[in-house]
Amino acid sequence: MLDPGNSTDTAVKEAYDGADTTYNLYFDVYERNSIDDRGMSIISTVHFDANYDNAFWDGRQMVYGDGDGDLFNRFTIAIDVMGHELTHGVTEYEAGLVYYDQPGALNESMSDVFGSLVKQRALNQTADAADWLVGEGLFTSKVNGTALRSMKAPGTAYDDPVIGKILSLHI
């Protein structure tokens, strides 16, 4: 993995730190050698598109948008989102889940949990001390919300007139 060196670009540094923290969690705790368990380089693209409100694993690399600045901040701000998206890569190589219906829901759930574990490790937190929020800091102050999801209190992460209210299913 290459070091961002003397870059003054905050997104570059955050993407590097997020990939490094995620890699180290998988290596140190689960003895997994990168996403594919064969030493795959973790490549990241930052500043994707203009006003892009998302981050994603495309099967080969991580891609981060800068947000629109109106509703969303840059997506490298949330280390748990980085861990979440990179875990999609781990799931792809390890389980080969098709990304729709129930396998897609399982894929998302695994990514949420491991994204939170990455954040907990970065903050040196126990599971009890963690907030279990995914994507905290992604919303600007214009949005009535704290994160994209709350695993501690499902359905409470946001309730905003523009983006809506997250639904919680009780089964």
Q: Residue ranges of the domains in the chain?
A: 10-126
What pLDDT does residue 99 have? 78
User: For 65-81, what is each residue's pLDDT tens digit?
Assistant: 999 999 999 999 999 99
Pick left, alpha or beta for residue 34 (phi over 0 → left; psi -120 to 50 → alpha; otherwise beta).
left
Report the predicted TM-score, pTM, of the whole model to 2 decimal places.
0.92
Q: Which fold has domain 10-126?
A: Elastase; domain 1 (3.10.170)
Residue 6 banded pLDDT, cuts 50, 70, 90: confident
Q: What is the pLDDT of residue 97?
A: 83
Average pLDDT, the chain: 93
Buried b (16+ CB within 10 A) or exposed e, 70-82: ebbbbbbbbbbbb
Dig out the tokens for 67 from the structure. 């947000």
